[in-house]
Chains A and B, each alone.
Chain A
Amino acid sequence: MAMPMRRTLVALQRATYGNFKNAEVSLDVQHPVPLFLPVRTKKRYFIPPAVGMKGKGEENTEAKARAAGIVFRQQYFERPINIACTAGIFDPYVPPEGDARLSSLSKGGLKQRTEQIRQSAASQLAIRKIKEHDSEFTTKDFSERAQEIFIEAHNCLTQFNKEKLHSLVTERCYPEMTRGNRYKTICWRFLESLEPPRVVHARCPDMVSKGNLYGQVTVRMHSKQTLAIYDRFGRLMLGSEEQPKDVLEYLVIERHLVNPYGRWRLHGKIVPSWAPTKDPVIKTVMIPGPKLKPGEEFDALNYSVPKPEAVQWNK
């Protein structure tokens, strides 16, 4: 909105000395010349600051600051990064088909057990290497410790205790556990362990340079848990509080062996290809349909929803 005002842009004229009336200049030099000050010297116009803005020279400000005595900290273009965990699971353990369904006493179960012992040649080597660095490593104690770490980590997740969660879970696993959970409420309970946890697999990969050893141990756990996830408004999204579920899990625990302050932390989970499908979310979800050419119509009767392949994947 433009409001016409009475004041005028006479400032430019005032810059010239034409308006000033000087008194008679006397020949006597001792008395100072009385200057008649012009009456109206108050600035009565307004120019918005945006008018005078032209790009200021950037070197000026820097030079001025240095001249004034301000000292800048030295800027480094490289920054050291400390990597404390591997990026994935090396040589993942392939859980045998029907692991939890056959008991060890049946014929199928015995075959599975023998296969497992045969597989573990590389694992024994890895365990020996781990024992070099960490002398108190035993498979029996470790499996119990692994279960404790697992329970603690999930309890921290329910309370969103970030600092403790970082110490129990590696940097690779942390975003996978916490993504999308910030504005949700998670209620998780560990009821009991159905079978004692067992170490099934171990590997000792080295990253980047030789000798930079990380130890990855896979622990098999069969337990009863309840999980209920509520969304931002307190409505149930997934699972239920009362209904417990039997869960067979393969956890991967990792530690940076060369680092004296390294700790055993949860690194990921292995989901076998024969795992039963999870319960669906309590919500109807739209799946994107097939891409149609112009002129084609979508045939709802003959269209079958494509199912994902049954592949083992690491989480």
Chain B
Amino acid sequence: MLRAGGLTYNPAGGLQVLGGGAQQLSCLHTSASLESKNWERRNLKVYPPQLPNEQRRAAEIHHSRRQIKYSKDKMWYLAKMIRGMSIDEAIAQLEFNDKKGAKIMKEVLLEAQEMAVKNHNVEYKSNLYVAESFSGKGKYLKRIRYHGRGMFGIMDKVYSHYFVKLVEGSPPQMEQKTSFDQAKEYVQSLKNRTIIHGL
């Protein structure tokens, strides 16, 4: 890695270039990655007033919970399950799921629904669906795991974040392709083959 001038680490703003020229700026990132709450900041965006003939913009509510004592991989399964469901359906499914993460996710969804009605001018609390839902890695704590013969390993105490975006309206219907349609498409693609630069 080439050094341009001198690179120092500033905990507030990532890497900084001291003096020197701005030749090697490809390794520079300016956002502090440890405490940035970008997902919550998306709730603060204000759109300009709509004209009366425009289509009514759907309300979007971003919510998250940080540092959940659960694995991000195990959380992913639940997050993938509720993607695209309406909020009532999602809450019902999570209520009767046996996993630990399901209880936490249900609380997050209920909080987000309440926030939507109170703060974001959503009219009907059932008229929401889960547009995006995913999990991320939180900050881990490290501990020692003792093995035999004086051996040891570093144990990670695992934490995860959970993010969800609710959008007003009914959930979009995924197009269901029948097997006959897929077969037809395959045959059509075979028929479309030509010989290029041929006579």
- Residues in A lying within 8 Å of B, measured CB to CB: 1-5, 8-10, 45-51, 183-185, 187, 228, 230-237, 283-284
Contact = CB atoms under 8 A, between A and B. Distances in A.
Given A8-B150, A50-B143, A232-B46, 6 more contacts: A2-B147, A231-B121, A232-B121, A233-B59, A235-B121, A283-B123
Contacts, number: 82
Nearest to A281: B121
B12 interface: no
B121 A185 contact: no
Contact of B48 (A10, A183, A185): A185
Contacts of B147: 2, 4
Contacts of B124: 284
A280 to B, nearest CB: 13
Given A231-B120, A232-B47, A283-B121, A50 B141 contact: yes
Interface stretch (B49-57, B89-97, B102-110, B187-195): B49-57
The majority secondary structure among interface residues of chain B is loop
Nearest to A184: B46
Interface of B: 44-50, 52, 56-60, 120-121, 123-124, 141-145, 147, 149-156
Contacts of B44: 183
Contact of A8 (B121, B142, B149): B149
Contacts of B144: 47-48, 51
B153 A185 contact: no
16 contacts: A2-B154, A4-B151, A5-B153, A9-B152, A183-B44, A230-B50, A231-B121, A232-B47, A232-B59, A233-B59, A234-B50, A235-B50, A236-B52, A283-B121, A283-B123, A284-B123
Given A48-B144, A234-B50, A235-B50, A3 B123 contact: no
B43 to A, nearest CB: 8
A49 B142 CA distance: 8
Contact of B56 (A3, A4, A47, A235): A235
